Amino acid sequence: MERASVGNRIAHKDRFAIFVSGFGRGAIEIIKDHAEGRILPTLGLILSTNPESQALEWAKQHGIPTAVVLRKGKKRRSYETEVVHVLRENTIDYVFLAGYAPIVGQTLLTGYPDRILNVHPSLLPAFKGIHAIDQAMEYGVKVTGVTVHVVNESIDSGRIIGQEAVRIEPGETFEDLDRKIFEKGMALTRDCINAYFTSQWLCLPGTECRGKT
């Protein structure tokens, strides 16, 4: 995919949140890109199901609001009602899932229809679900990759916004491949956020421009 330089970020009315559940390495890179002016929309919230996520600390250091909403012990509808309330409080328009563990349910999908993107470490529709990199290595494919897609009712099945291929070289370890996919994925994430999380849907190179709905 051709890369476009955004340059100095101009204040943009569209606001997005990042959802995380783990350490938050992807979210941290997005925070860095936002701080350096490579992200067009405003990063308005980091929401985590994990109070120990390092993304929360990075967000605080950069003046980005944070929220911890625990998932454990709550029914999905109750949990997502709480999440939607937090998003509304922070005037969030879009959501990007960056290592977010809970399956997105109807309450969140209804609150943010076609406004949630996820990054997945495979060339969807291949290797859906968890352990996608392991799946690719065990299957013996020569090429895998990373996909950003719209989140819908089915796991890793929403409309594809962008993809990048990654070749699996002989003798590569999981760590080698994970690093390559992560690096490709961060560049793709930046492009997709800038294209999709704005008032007007901008076509990404090599994709069909059909609008958000």
Q: Which of 12, 62, 85, 120 is catalytic?
A: 120
Q: Is 120 a catalytic residue?
A: yes
For the purposes of burial, counting CB atoms within 10 Å of the CB of 41, is it exposed (0-12), middle (13-18) or buried (19 or more)? Answer: buried
Q: Which residues are catalytic?
A: 120
